[in-house]
Amino acid sequence: MTRDISSTATNCGTQHGPYQGTQIGTQWLTDAGLRPTRQRVALAMLLIGDGEHRHITAESLYCSVRDQGESVSLATVYNTLRAFCEAGLLQEVMVDGAKSYFDTNTSDHPHFFWEDSLTLSDAPADQLEFSNLPQPPEGAEITKVDVVIRVRKRT
């Protein structure tokens, strides 16, 4: 199951209970070779504390961590998310080349981007088929294929 933290920075209502079992976040960080600072552990607990996968933006995570009473800047949230990606803890998903979402499910899988709510959710990987990919330019290799399928609710 995947949970989404609201993608808008203006929706800063409390969405998670108090931190419990910070050892989960600490272990997640140390297993990836990251130093478990107070701010990293606080962000980790919001991301993986309940064991569910989620898609978040830096802005929504910033609101959530501030709602928990943590003193953290938006720049720190961005830098921490980048460090988590570099350590293999998160996957960055770009939408329209301008908006970054961060996914706790790091396996290769497609996504639905919901245009009406500006949220991201997992799409069923077993229903996606590629019959052929174009040859990369000379001297290049394909490293990854990201699939983001734009959807909206029918009106």
CATH of domain 2-103: 1.10.10.10
Q: For the residues 101-127, what does the mean pLDDT come to?
A: 94
Region class of 69: left (phi > 0), else alpha (psi between -120 and 50), else beta: left
Q: Where is pLDDT greater, at 145 or 30?
A: 30
Per-residue model confidence (pLDDT) at position 1 = 46
For residues 26 and 121, what is the distance between their CA atoms, to the nearest angstrom? 26
Give per-residue pLDDT as tens, 19-30: 455 788 999 999
For CATH 1.10.10.10, the residue range(s) in the chain are 2-103
Per-residue model confidence (pLDDT) at position 13 = 46
Strand 148-151 versus strand 111-114 pairing type: parallel
Per-residue model confidence (pLDDT) at position 101 = 96
Q: Where is pLDDT greater, at 129 or 12?
A: 129
